[in-house]
């Protein structure tokens, strides 16, 4: 396939339409985020850190733990992050919760702005770079991360930094960043595993060592029981797979009425990718792209926020028109998707599952015949 042509009229038209859709999405979402709306997940993080500091279960239900009630769905939202988070989240309790939330919101926005700048410098030129930036700031995952007070955006900056460093062959620092991401979001363990199976051993091993070292810290500070508490919560959290912002195969299977199929499909995907990586030995970028998409798709809970980690994958494959469809679906505002709760089953599986279908399509595009084509000969490693 020939290298993409930035002057392609259809491509330019699509970029303008995506930018316009993103501007509309931003207009819809700004009021939701800017208006007082409670602590949501940020409250769960404060509660978790506070409990750990007091010698209590950081994965219990406390007054600040959010409780979600929607038509046909009800669940508590405790902290689901690994035990290292229970130590880090104690910093959120250094100021009143509302103050901490505002500070964290601006830190998150700053991290995302830097992320977008890095990606635009790598993948965009001139007016197209501006349109990419507008589209990125309209993504549903970005706004819902801010609304909930979630922690994804600093981790996204690390992941994008690792992606760019891997492209440049700076494998040590890339491995460190990947390891830090994995230590907070274990579903991204797929990334170093696929790198290792593809023959890119150095960054894979470095990331695994970093993630292991970070994971040992809470065991030494809080004791091994904290891992029992965390795993017990994760094992009992299956009912949230149905939630409409879960973009994983488990979410799609739950909405299709066959929740057991989610684990089977996820395991099949991971085993298939492992065999592909071992037998085909794809390039470091191709292996990373497949790993990032699989980290969302095969996760029991692949929230819409995780789709932000697919930004470098989408832009790397932006020369493929089907990836424009993925980019458009990920702009659909969360309130629209959430409003499908209580609708007919087929509506929840279609309109209510646009994020899940977007990630499925992204996986298909990445694995197309020239999915491991690098953007320039200098990137072949």
Q: Tens digits of per-residue pLDDT, 202-240?
A: 999 999 999 999 999 999 999 999 999 999 999 887 778
Residue whose C-alpha is closest to residue 26's, from 162, 120, 146: 146
Distance CA 85, CA 273 (A): 29
Distance CA 85, CA 71 (A): 31
3-state secondary structure 268-327: HHHHHHHHHHHHHCCCHHHHHHHHHHHHHHCCCCCEHHHHHHHHHHHHHCCCCHHHHHHH
Q: CB–CB of 323/314 below 8 Å?
A: yes
pTM of the model: 0.94
Task: Please report the pLDDT score of residue 239 as a whole number.
Answer: 79
Q: Which two tokens stand for residue 276?
A: 């592909």
Instruction: For 268-311, write each residue's pLDDT tens digit.
Output: 999 999 999 999 999 999 999 999 999 999 999 999 999 999 99
Low-confidence ranges of the chain (pLDDT < 50): 1-4, 6, 371-381
Task: Please report the pLDDT score of residue 192 as a whole number.
Answer: 98
Q: Dihedral sign for Cα 107, 108, 112, 113, please.
A: negative
Distance CA 134, CA 20 (A): 8
Distance CA 329, CA 340 (A): 15
Crossing angle for the helix pair 190-197 and 284-297, to the nearest 10 degrees = 140
Q: What region, left, alpha or beta, does residue 77 occupy, with left being phi > 0 and alpha being psi -120 to 50 degrees?
A: beta
What percent of the chain is helix, strand and coil (3-state, nearest 5)?
70, 5, 25
Task: Please report the pLDDT score of residue 7 as a whole number.
Answer: 52
Residue whose C-alpha is closest to residue 71's, from 346, 348, 362: 348
DSSP string, 86-122: HHHGGGGGSS-HHHHHHHHHHHHHHHHHHHHHHHHHH
Residue whose C-alpha is closest to residue 198's, from 286, 295, 270, 298: 286
Q: Which two tokens stand for residue 80?
A: 């689901």
Distance CA 336, CA 340 (A): 7
Q: Strand pairing partners for 76? A: 67
Q: Which two tokens stand for residue 70?
A: 């929607």
Task: Please report the pLDDT score of residue 106 as a whole number.
Answer: 97
């Amino acid at each position: 396939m020939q290298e993409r042509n930035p002057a392609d009229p259809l491509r330019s038209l699509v970029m303008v339409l995506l930018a316009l859709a993103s501007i509309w999405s931003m207009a819809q979402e700004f009021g939701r985020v800017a208006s007082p709306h409670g602590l949501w997940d940020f409250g769960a993080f404060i509660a978790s850190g506070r409990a750990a500091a007091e010698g209590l279960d950081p994965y219990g239900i406390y007054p600040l733990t959010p409780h979600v009630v929607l038509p046909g769905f009800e669940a508590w939202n405790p902290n689901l992050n690994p035990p290292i988070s229970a130590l880090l989240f104690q910093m959120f309790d250094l100021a009143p919760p509302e103050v901490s939330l505002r500070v964290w919101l601006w830190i998150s926005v700053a991290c995302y702005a830097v992320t977008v700048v890095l990606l635009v410098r790598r993948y965009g030129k001139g007016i197209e770079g501006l349109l990419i930036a507008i589209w990125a700031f309209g993504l549903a995952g970005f706004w819902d991360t801010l609304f909930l007070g979630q922690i994804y955006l600093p981790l996204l900056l690390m992941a994008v930094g690792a992606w760019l460093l891997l492209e440049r062959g700076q494998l040590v620092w890339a491995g460190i960043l990947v390891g830090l991401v994995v230590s907070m979001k274990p579903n991204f363990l797929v990334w170093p595993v696929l790198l290792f199976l593809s023959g890119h051993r150095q960054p894979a091993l470095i990331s695994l060592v970093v993630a292991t070292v970070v994971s040992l810290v809470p065991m030494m500070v809080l004791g091994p029981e904290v891992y029992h508490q965390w795993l017990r919560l994760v094992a009992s959290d299956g009912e949230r797979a149905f939630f409409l912002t879960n973009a994983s195969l488990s979410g799609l299977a739950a909405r299709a009425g066959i929740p057991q199929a989610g684990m089977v499909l996820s395991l099949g995907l991971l085993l298939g990718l492992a065999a592909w990586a071992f037998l085909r030995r794809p390039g470091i970028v191709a292996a990373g792209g497949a790993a990032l998409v699989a980290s969302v798709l095969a996760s029991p809970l692949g929230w819409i926020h995780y789709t932000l980690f697919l930004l470098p994958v989408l832009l790397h494959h932006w020369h493929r028109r089907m990836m424009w469809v993925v980019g458009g679906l990920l702009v659909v505002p969360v309130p629209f998707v959430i409003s499908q709760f209580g609708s007919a089953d087929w509506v929840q599986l279609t309109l209510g599952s646009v994020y899940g279908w977007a990630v499925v399509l992204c996986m298909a595009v990445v694995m197309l015949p020239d999915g491991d084509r690098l953007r320039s000969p200098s990137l072949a490693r």
